[in-house]
Structure 1
Amino acid sequence: MINPKQVRDFAKACGILAKTDRLDAMVLARFALQIRPPARPLPDEAQREFADLLDRRSQLVAMRAQEKAWVATAPPVALKSLKEHIAWLDARIKSHDIDMTHKLRTSDVWKNKVELLDSMPT
């Protein structure tokens, strides 16, 4: 994985301002040969699953923020529905937090990192 801005800056430094699929492929190959970025392994299944949970949690938090903002200007007929939806979103976010904590504490990939972070004084 490479930072796209870094590659684009490299292309500009080489005088390549146009952007096509063919040029992009050439620039990426040239970047790899000259810069030799370190190879990083792809995330394993557990890491991808955790990232998916985190993404979904972020979506739920954004939805909750929208609903809370609408409460201030919502007509009285919609308030009950908004408040029920906010309560549902709160429950889903809490459920995701529990799932994510469980995955962090039981995954070999994350267990050592969590223990290290937990050992830090607060």
Structure 2
Amino acid sequence: MTAYAIANLRPAGGRPPHEDVFVYMERIQATLDPFGGRFLVHNAPLEVREGEWPHALVIIEFPAIEEARAWYDSPAYQALIPLRADHIPGDLILVDGVAPGYDPARTAAALRASA
């Protein structure tokens, strides 16, 4: 089942990124390639329809959660993290996607039955 790394980044508004951030961006794809990771969303404008989202969104797709975990824990990515995190704080989660044929109505029925 497909999995995702989702980051909510809080760049400093109005200031250009630190040089380390550019180095991070130049090197991250090489850390993703061995694990089948690919960017789905990166530095795209957001159109907020509900609530607030003042930060930048990044979504990276992996073939499965095991690859997402292995990428995050890899020495290559661990070495890159400070290049970004020291200048752009954020939150990052790893999450499984839904299986093909997922039916939200079935999920609602199961939740209703257990309530």
Higher relative contact order (CA 8 A, sep 6+): 2
Q: Which TM-score band (shorter chain)?
A: under 0.3
Higher Rg of the two aligned structures: 1
Between structures 1 and 2, the one with greater strand share: 2
Between structures 1 and 2, the one with greater helix share: 1
TM-score by length of 2: 0.28
TM-score by length of 1: 0.26
